[in-house]
Amino acid sequence: MKGRISSVWVALLGVVVGVLLCMVWNRSVEMRGKKPLSVGDADWRKVNLVLESLDREYVDSIDHTKITEAAIDAALGALDPHSIYIPPVTMEGVKEELQGNFDGIGIQFNVPNDTAIVLEVIPGGPSEKIGLQPGDRILKVDDIPIAGVKYPQDSMVRHMKGPAGTKVLITVGREGDVIPFEITRGKIPMHSVDAAFMVNDTTGYLRLGKFALTTYTEVSTRSKELLALGMKRLILDLRDNTGGYFDQALLLANLFLPRKASIVYIEGLHCPREEYNANGRGIMQDIAIDLLVDEGSASSSEIVAGAIQDNDRGTLYGRRTFGKGLVQKTVDFSDGSGLRLTMARYYTPSGRCIQKPYNGKKDYEYYIYDRYADGEMLSADSIKVDSSKVFKTIGGRTVFGGGGIVPDIFVPVDTTRASAFYMACNRKATSMRFASAWFDSHRAELQQIDDFGKLKKYLDGAGLEQAFLAFASSKDGLKPASQAEWAAERKYMMTQVQALVGRYSKLGEDAFYHLYLATDNVFQAAMKE
């Protein structure tokens, strides 16, 4: 009896399997017999058909927002490195950076792999003063773990922001160390001019951090102050200035150039050539101008540098600039997101394209590291110029294309300060944390100082050297390996400490840069000329 039942079940199972196979075969034949969907090479029909097929055929329900944003990222990724999609939470931060002040801790970060990585620490902000650095991994905000737990990026921003005067504990990971930073939130300074002061009786210094909406107004105001103090020569520091508003670059270059002098022109497939020339009303046409540039000087900074160089208006010192010569326009969407789309290229007055080559996103991102590997940061002879692209300044000097602006006088990266003690202190932000602790216990006297001469006298007589070494030893377990090591490092490190403490005076960033420039080899090269 059991044998019969088993045979019956086997027969039934065979019938069922046969029916299913026939269904699958028929479906396969049906699909093979369908006429292929019509697509063209010069339209977007194929993309639309793919998305429609997902809605009609995909096995599970579709998250339209997720798929749409992934498709946008993939499409833009096939174009150039600067055509990007900006989600709503990021777009808000981008607009704040360029348009006005806000309360917070003063950092920009990204979350590429479920961990927030600090991209930029805003100069003069609370985070920069206490010692946060680009590359820091944010592990916790107060007692909330945010690393490796898929914590929403907009929630991270919300927890870090807060009213000025309130405190937040940011715990970061840095090269294997876990470092807590208690940060007092403040008004994040969004000004463009980081510092402006007279170096001597006739030379002024102005450091420009970005090209924001207020750049031209700020530079004009501070320049008039320096002119009133007797400035005959300006050293304009554009190092690490990644750019910003195009019109502000035009207005800045216009301050120095004579009437009808070319500043820049742009051109693209759908953007006919547009030329921009000086109007001859700039207030510093008779002032000697020298620019400091490096591998962090990009976009609008390169427009100004190219205009000054090609018009033989001034001298450029430092290292080859970044090479960002693509013009973007912003497309805003109703959900708060946006598109930054490349529409043209920048060309300097001599006809040089500023944009460096790009052969895929990875190669582009590691281009700076390649410069280091090739020795370009240490030797002018290692700079890879495109000798097939030769251009002439208005005075007949030869300049080359191939990406970025090569300075007139090359100044290498200073590698003489890489002692173990210096590197360890930098890794743990010992100098910055010491300066913060010193301010906490000397707030009243520091906040009364508003004159650079008085500040220098105070710092020289405050016993900072002994206090700093004691702090490094007790807080971080760090000390110089020998008296010889400290003797080699002392001038540089104590200049750094004085600058960090000095910025807590009423002079702020002016004090920091005035003191720090004493050990800045690019600035010193400009002063020697």
Instruction: Please identify every residue annotated as catalytic.
Output: 299, 310, 324
DSSP β-ladder status, 314-318 and 409-410: parallel
| DSSP label at residue 311 | T
Q: How far apart (Å, rounded) are the C-alpha atoms in residues 101 and 361? A: 33
CA dihedral (301, 302, 305, 307) positive or negative: negative
Contact partners, residue 257, CB within 8 Å, separation at least 6:
263, 278, 282, 285, 307, 311, 313
- Report whether 319 contacts 377 (CB < 8 A): yes
Contact 413, 378 (CB under 8 A): yes
CA distances from 433 to 126, 179, 183, 429, 476 (A): 12, 11, 11, 6, 11
> Cβ of 24: how many Cβ atoms within 10 Å?
10
Residues 6+ apart with CB under 8 A from 11: none
Kind and range of the H or E run holding 267 = strand 262-268
Neighbours of 295 (CB within 10 A): 21
Cα distance from N-terminal residue to C-terminal residue, the chain:
110
Question: Of 275, 279, 274, whose CA–CA distance to 255 is shortest?
Answer: 279
Ramachandran region of residue 244, left (φ > 0), alpha (ψ -120 to 50) or beta?
A: left
User: Residue 174: CB partners within 8 Å, gap ≥ 6?
Assistant: 133, 135, 136, 137, 427, 428
278 close to 254: Cβ distance less than 8 angstroms: yes
Closest CA to 123 of 234, 208, 211, 214: 208
CA 421 centroid distance within chain = 28
Kindly state the tokens that stand for 405.
């602006």
How many Å apart are CA 396 and CA 376, to the nearest integer? Answer: 26
Contact 263, 307 (CB under 8 A): yes
